[in-house]
Amino acid sequence: MIHDAREARQGGRLHGATEGLLREVRACTLCQAQLPLGPRPVLQFHPRARILIAGQAPGRKVHECGVPFMDASGDRLRDWLGIDATVFYDPQRIALLPMGFCYPGSGQSGDLAPRPECAATWRAKLLARLLDLRLTLAVGRYALAWHLGSSGRPTLTETVRAWREYGPGLLPLPHPSPRNNIWLKRNAWFERELLPELRGRVRELLDQAPGAPADRRATA
């Protein structure tokens, strides 16, 4: 199973500058003093990925295994997308770039917010190297705030419900964590209206041949 760009050689070697950037990211210790379990950046990246999943930050289980979304949240997310783990963990198809690459620790109501230093230092550099990005999935309020900026609505629910307003290149999603089971029950429209559109867009992009013209450009 492929989990990062170091092993993504099917289409040739990565450009040296991209490999160098990924080495820097994986070796990052900027937030070491604030991370209870120490730094362990977790991401999946290849410049050819057409789909970007922008999540929150790794949970403790993902920190321990080093594989993005290898937990209950990931199981639900893959179900939402209508794909299996083999497709999900192919970096030439899907990039997994959370707002924070390291586990931030936990508080009284769940995991802490992603460390802000991470996105400020690395995000723009990595996004600039996604050369064929067609669809961004902004998952949870931290990703929504960064990728939508002032175009987001006051609450996550309002933002996700307004998904049609954000164009074909971006879809806002709630976090797939089991902690959101109550939200999903209260907002049945999400599964009824948004999930079919999500699965259709993902299937369309995955079915396109490499190098096919872009119909839907992603929004950073």
- Exposed e or buried b for every residue in 71-100, given b needs 16+ CB within 10 A? bebbebbbebbebeeeebbbbbbbbbbbbb
Amino acid present at 143: A
Among the listed ranges 9-23, 84-98, 114-128, 176-190, which one has the minimum average pLDDT value?
A: 9-23
> Residues 22-52: pLDDT tens digits?
999 999 999 999 999 999 999 999 999 999 9
Residue-level pLDDT at 15: 77
CA 11-16-21 angle, 5° bins: 105
Average pLDDT score over residue span 94-118: 95
